[in-house]
Amino acid sequence: MEHKENVYHIPVLAQQSLDGLRINPSGIYVDVTFGGGGHSSALLGRLGAEGRLFGFDQDADAMANIPADSRFVYVHSNFRYLYNYMRYHNVLGKVDGLLADLGVSSHHFDEADRGFSYRHSGLLDMRMNRLSELTAAEVVRTYDEESLARIFDVYGELRQVGRIASAVVKARKIKDVGMVENLLEAVEPFARRDREKKFFAKLFMALRMEVNDEIAALKEMLMHIPATLKSGGRFAVISYHSLEDRLVKNFIKSGNFEGAVRTDFYGNVVSPFLKINTKIITPPPEEVERNPRSRSAKLRIAELI
């Protein structure tokens, strides 16, 4: 039988991210995006009996993947509350390494009733945490034209965003655009013939990022990293969107999201972090071939000074 984690999600850049964290076998680690547990299980494989691993996920489905391992503690929460949980577990300032593998898992796209994929018809849901209120159906049914255009622009990085938003608003007067098939019909005229799938994927990604407030959650989590790690502790972030990658890059460079650097008396840049990889790490062609969902992954690693 195929191992469960392969069905739920294939971990991306697993070796590179763990190598970058330079795992200390008796250290304390946090995987803020537990998902199918692929990275976590590889990390547990590098820990000795003394090591500990906390795994966060806001999606209740991920709980099916919790390993039977006394070194592992599952935290069923959004990672934006990293600080609170680290304080609760009395490990603030003691963590050796943190890993974030952003976005959603293959499981989300594959399960039709989760409403993440343009490939399945039905209700647009897209909530990672099914207890939260806002669904993607609600977004397309109720947001005003300007807000929809902003989401398609900033998160989807699409063109003609005003016209797409206007088409959605027009279509919803006669059809329920909260259903995948109706939304696709409304926006389809804006897709280039040969790039329809890419267009739908970007549009859906934009809605997903809005529904799950992904950029704000990422910023909050990153802000808590200096208090979480011990000095010399490392963090690794795998992102799949240029906006996320830019935030991570700036944060490593300067400790803020704008990338505004402070310099000391001698003109040296002052950042709380030391960059571990100077060149961005992306999956090798063999990995992309084996797992096409890894193709847009970008890994950055840094150390708390």
Binding site for ligand SAM (CB under 6 A): 9, 11, 33, 35-39, 56-59, 62, 78-80, 101, 103-105, 128, 217
CB of 6 to ligand SAM, least distance (A): 10
Residue type, 172: R
Q: How far apart are CA 284 and CA 76, in angstroms?
A: 32
- Taking the complex as a whole, the smallest distance from the CB of residue 38 to ligand SAM amounts, in Å, to 3
The rounded distance, in Å, linking the Cα atoms of 302 and 237 is: 9
For residue 71, the SS3 value is: coil
Closest to ligand SAM by CB, 217 or 236:
217
DSSP label at 179? B
Q: Of 64 and 270, which has the nearer Cβ to ligand SAM?
A: 64
Q: Rounded to the nearest whole angstrom, what is the least distance from the CB of residue 143 to ligand SAM in the complex?
A: 21
User: Smaller CB distance to ligand SAM: residue 21 or 165?
Assistant: 21
- Where are the strands (E) in 118-239, listed by range? 229-239
CB of 155 within 8 A of CB of 243?
A: yes
Q: How far is the CB of 13 from ligand SAM (least distance, A)?
A: 10
In 155-173, which positions are buried (b, 16+ CB within 10 angstroms) versus exposed (e)?
Answer: bbebeebeebbebbbebbe
Q: C-beta of 113: minimal distance to ligand SAM in Å?
A: 15
Least distance CB 16 / ligand SAM (angstroms): 13
Q: Cβ closer to ligand SAM: 58 or 254?
A: 58
| 215 Cβ contact list (under 8 Å, min separation 6) | 155, 209, 243, 244, 247
d(CA 94, CA 175): 54
Q: Which is nearer to ligand SAM, 241 or 249 (CB)?
A: 241
Contact 124, 133 (CB under 8 A): no
Closest to ligand SAM by CB, 208 or 249: 208
